[in-house]
Structure 1
Amino acid sequence: MCGIVGGIAERSITNILIEGLKRLEYRGYDSAGLALINAGQVLRERRVGKVINLAEAVETSHISGSLGIAHTRWATHGKPTEENAHPHISGNVAVVHNGIIENYQELKDDLEALGYVFTSQTDTEVVAHLVNDALKSTPSLLEAVRQVVPQLKGAYALGIVHTDHPNELITVREGSPLVIGVGIGENFISSDQLALLPITNRFMYLEEGDIARLTRTSIEVFANGNRVERPVKELDATVSNASKGEYKHYMLKEIYEQPEAIQQTISQALNGNALRPDFLKNAEVDFSKIQQIQIIACGTSYHAGMIAKYWFEQLIDLPCQVEIASEFRYRSPVIVGNTLYVCISQSGETADTLAALRDTQKRAVAKGLDVVTLTICNVATSSMVRETNYSLLTLAGPEIGVASTKAFTTQLAALMLLVLKIGQVKNSISTEQVEQITSELWHLPKVILNTLQHNDSILRLAELFTEKQHCLFLGRGTNFPIALEGALKLKEISYIHAEGYAAGELKHGPLALVDNEMPVVILAPQDDMLDKLKSNMEEVQARGGELFVFADVNSGIKGKDRQHVVHVPNVSAVLSPIVYSVPVQLLSYHVAVLRGTDVDQPRNLAKSVTVE
């Protein structure tokens, strides 16, 4: 959601900014722009639509500079127009901004009273005018920004340049991610290190409230007005492997990367059919005190948490609650001692989840409660990883497609590892159970690989969806959340209205929607609920619904008139949600391709939701 790239160097950075924006396209955006400082002028280009439109405009205008900022915008305040695109300019100040300035209207009213004229409907433009106004009382750009920051309420990351300061770039982080890329004779900023990996693998991660001044040869970081040191970390260059390769879309590539991603994730914890002694060893004392689990997440990560609830309660007899972060943070939840708060996020920067974590920590301290926090995340350097007591990484590699696939299944694998670890520490799971589940985890990548071999059959099912406008997904037990996830995937990328339900709820409303035009997707693993699920299928067929069934090869479910079946390899009931994620991902992908939508960057959505 929005992307920032900026830098200062001896060389022209025009192409670096453009390339950085291209590498941030996965985050979701509707316009793009850049501003360069050259010969005492601000040179700006902005375009609605894809970064390629901006690149073509820059190539035509031949603008260049060694100091500049660039941005991809996901509209919050004001429609996607060129006037609302970043950077925004006031006098000789140019600003890019991720996040939301919550008190922008109040600030705007004050600035208009001072005679400032606004040319956009954005909240960001107030920052440019405030900095411009502050420079009337100080010649220092850094000092001007310091004066402005206390006036801003909300979440923001800022990049600021000025024609009278051609040798410095000012950046601010408050509630929105920002990293500094450390080069040799050049330094850069970005909202995501991925944008800078082609030019450096050394990064400095700013903390909340940090203000930094970058020159070509120095980086100064200030917190609460004082100079502070932030460590420089070197990132593994393999993280930058984010090309589509032979695949048509990132999403398809990432679906097919799931066997390897899951293998990587479980390998950090397993040694044969047992947990490695060093896996989360530093958390064992805290885990032994835990009396309940509270999972906080959004979107697909929330669905992963729903499945984990079944596992925590069924396998190790530990109470578990799961809540959407955007609700949890605002309903004044009761903070209970001896609770493990688990935050799940692909990026580790999800605004609502991060805010819920921080609020929980503050309230626990205020009440003197002993709580433990843990993040399950795909980004080792993220805010959530840094701000929780413990972290468990999903080693999925970069996920570019907006619709999450491999990040989701690796979250599930990581959650199962966490369940086993806590169960082992609390002696609530037998050695035999651990051995059985770990053995099944080792075989899981092969099962998923075999499931992917049904791609052509799933494509044929997808051809029957192209003219549909609505769809139901049904599952029971641990596959009810997969029904929710399947519906989310279909609506995200194909724009077909889809809903997921617990199949036992059919008679409580959804059955009214079933008719000859309503496709109903069924998830039918070989488990204790299979016979009841078959009864639900009969209910749908009796009302004329058309069934699309992903069924265990041993389920006895066969294809017939208006009942299309793809047989999924046999898998244990406990791990079936991970496997059954794959066919619903492929179905959604193929339907979207056939309908001609933008699979990797669906309309109105962003990969990393860093604002409310």
Structure 2
Amino acid sequence: MINKDFFDALSELVETKGIDEQSLLDSIENALSCGYKRLKGDAFDVKVKLNKEKNSIKFYNSDLVEHSKEIKNIEWDSSAAEKNGYEDYMLKEIFEQPTAIRETIGSRLKLGEPCNFSDINITKEYLSTINKIFIIACGTAMHAGLTGKKFIENLCNIPVEVDIASEFRYRNPIIDEKTLCIFISQSGETADTIAALKLSKSKGAKTLAVSNVIGSSITREADYTIYTHAGPEIAVASTKAYTSQVVLLGILAIYFAEILESTDSETLENLKKDIFDLPKKIETSLKTSDEVKKFAKKISKEKDVFFIGRGSDYNVALEGSLKLKEISYIHSEAYASGELKHGPIALIEKGITVISILTDKNLLEKSISNIEEVITRGAKTFIVTNQDIENSNFDNVVKIEDTNPLLSPILSVIPLQLLAYYISKDKGLDVDKPRNLAKSVTVE
């Protein structure tokens, strides 16, 4: 029988000086908050024993025979775990998004030049054989995938299906060697996503991992890996990792479009310019903080909140609803605005809060009509928009900057992140560590 000195190393393992075996941490972010030392790699069939006296760690196989494992140094500085004057990690990470996006863009994007993905080097010969792409993830990462679908389908003309990893595994997905499967996981340790990746490989598909953690389990399993480089995200509720994932998927879609020549170069070049402008435009979105905080105080006692949007705005509604649930414990639901009359509008009554995201000018008239419908039934509204809306009935309108419609989810989600944060703070809750949730879901 294995005693307390041995631990299943199903995730990345971190050795932290001065902490005993029972406190061995299972993610880089947590290690940083305690003072990190070293990352231990690939140990799915391994048991671990710490020797505090000799300040060492040993690995054993299932028969308890010792064998060596590679030690990897963590590149992130421990100062990344400091709050730097912010009250909570989540607020710090929300305000770090301009910097995180710049890091994600990195050297991958240059005006007048092809995107740089030399680390994966996907060829035209291979990409031309792909007739379908799956994007598979959980939670917030899945919401990023929904926007990734828009990028790829619009720029590359390849059909994309977005799946929840825990569902994908059990529905016999139609996959073969002409399928590319993209897996998104901030931690790189999400159990369902890793299992879905293994299933895809067994069916002959090539796999591409999108992660924030270098050397994580998903990156070792995938055929290709690209990193967001967003920096450590310590708060359980994801913010900067989400926007970085969306940006990276957008750049990847441009890269594919350049290879396939599926979109004209002028359109791609203009989109690149818009991506470069994102950090400054995010800074403008962050300036809505005081405005958002006032509205948060008005609705922090609510029991139910609804989010609505059309097209890409619906994807943002899903993410905004999840953020609110995660850290404020308020029941919230997100609906495509066009579905209101197919059931949800029966729940709209006097005093109910409806949050609307409205950034697509082609759907402006229909979206305004939906907002008017809920106001007629007595709802309080909070509107995030980049459009000029002139309607005396619309209270609590937060204006963000305009951008390419494909990129609008990156700007419109910022006020919703702030809203969830300030509601949670007004309720006196632990913003960084909400109940029953973990940063890395390493069990199925």
Q: TM-score surpassing 0.5?
A: yes
For residue 414 of structure 1, the aligned residue among 240, 248, 256 is 248
Residue 277 of structure 1: CA displacement? 4.1
State the distance in 1 between where 2:8 and 2:249 align.
34
Q: What is aligned with 2:46?
A: 210
Give the superposition deviation at 1:420: 1.0
Q: Which residue of the partner structure matches residue 93 of structure 1?
A: none
Q: 1:23-62 counterparts in 2 under 5 A?
A: none
Tell me the distance in 2 between the aligned counterparts of 1:202 and 1:550: 43
Contact conserved, 1:475 with 1:501, CA < 8 A, in 2? yes
In structure 1, list runs of 5 or more residues that go unmatched: 1-130, 132-144, 146-159, 162-168
Q: Work out whether 1:249 is the aligned partner of 2:88.
A: yes
Deviation of 1:526 (Å): 4.3
Residue 455 of structure 1 pairs with residue 293 of structure 2: no
Aligned to 2:185: 345
Matches within 5 A, 1:4-23: none
Selected match of 2:121 from 282, 286, 296: 282
- SS of equivalent residue, structure 2 residue 351: coil
Distance 1:567 1:195 in 2: 36
* Alpha-carbon contact 1:329-1:356 (below 8 Å) kept: yes
What aligned pairs does 1:472-491 form with structure 2 within 5 A after superposition? 472-491=306-325
- CA distance in 2 between counterparts of 1:402 and 1:196 reads 14
Identical amino acids, percent of aligned pairs: 39
- Residues 515-526 of structure 1 aligned to structure 2 (within 5 Å): 515-526=349-360
Given that residues 274 and 434 in structure 1 are in contact (C-alpha distance below 8 angstroms), is that contact kept between their aligned partners in structure 2?
A: no
| Equivalent residue, structure 1, for 2:27 | 192
Q: How many angstroms apart in 2 are the aligned matches of 1:584 and 1:218?
A: 45
Instruction: Report if the CA contact (8 A) 2:385-2:400 is conserved.
Output: yes
Partner of 1:508: 342
Alignment equivalent of 1:303, drawn from 139, 143, 151: 143
Quick check: which one's strand share is greater? 1
| CA RMSD of superposed structures (Å) | 2.4
Worse-superposed segment, 378-387 or 541-550: 541-550
- Using the TM superposition, give the Cα deviation of residue 592 of structure 1 relative to its aligned residue in structure 2, in angstroms: 1.3
Relative contact order higher in (CA < 8 Å, ≥ 6 apart): 2
AA aligned to 2:122 is A
1:558–1:602 Cα change, 3 Å: farther
- 2:172 maps to a residue whose letter is S
State yes or no: 1:221 paired with 2:59.
yes
Deviates more, 1:200-209 or 1:595-604: 200-209
What code does the residue aligned with 1:303 have?
H
8 Å contact kept, 2:212–2:228: yes
Supply the distance in 1 between the matched residues of 2:333 and 2:238 (Cα, whole angstroms): 18
Query: Could you tell me which residue of structure 2 aligns to residue 361 of structure 1?
Result: 201
Deviations 1:253-305 (A, max 9, x none): 11000010011001131123544445445223543432211111111111111
2:429 to 597, 601, 604: 597
| Separation of aligned partners in 1, 2:181 and 2:357 | 30
**Structure 2 residue identity aligned to 1:338:** K
**1:33-432 counterparts in 2 under 5 A?**
131=1, 145=2, 160-161=3-4, 169-173=5-9, 176-179=10-13, 181=15, 190-196=25-31, 201-215=37-51, 216=54, 219-223=57-61, 228-238=67-77, 241-284=80-123, 286-362=126-202, 364=203, 369=204, 371-432=205-266
Give the AA of the match of 1:264.
E
Q: CA deviation at 1:544?
A: 2.0
Counterpart residue number, 1:578: 410
Q: Classify 1:385/1:459 alpha carbon distance in 2 versus 1 (closer, same or farther; 3 Å).
A: same
Compared CA separation, residues 263 and 480, structure 1 to 2 (3 A): same
Q: Letter of the aligned partner of 1:350 in structure 2?
A: T
1:466 deviation in Å?
2.0
Other-structure match for 2:378: 544
Alpha carbons 1:458, 1:586 under 8 Å: kept: yes
Deviation at 1:556, TM superposition (A): 2.5
CA contact (8 A) 1:394 1:407 kept: yes
Aligned to 2:182, the other structure's residue is in SS state: strand
Partner SS, residue 336 of structure 1: coil
Q: Structure 2 vs 1, CA of residues 500 and 194 (structure 1 numbering), >3 Å: closer, same or farther?
A: closer
Unpaired stretches in structure 2, ≥5 consecutive residues:
none
Aligned twin of 1:54: none
> Match of 2:407, as an amino acid?
L
Q: CA deviation at 1:516?
A: 1.5
Alignment partners' CA distance in 2, 1:281 and 1:343: 15
- Confirm or deny: 8 A CA contact 1:325 1:356 kept in the other structure: yes
The answer to whether the 8 A contact 1:181-1:203 is kept is yes
1:465, distance to aligned residue in structure 2 (A): 0.5
Larger Rg: 1
1:528 to 342, 347, 362: 362
**CA–CA separation in structure 2 for the residues paired with 1:341 and 1:466:** 40
Equivalent position amino acid for 2:284 in 1: N
> How many Å apart are 1:310 and its aligned residue?
1.8
For the Cα contact (< 8 Å) 1:549–1:566, is it kept in 2? yes
1:529 partner SS: helix
Counterpart contact for 1:239–1:398, Cα < 8 Å: no
Are the equivalent residues in 1 in contact too, given 2:58–2:66 (CA < 8 A)?
A: yes
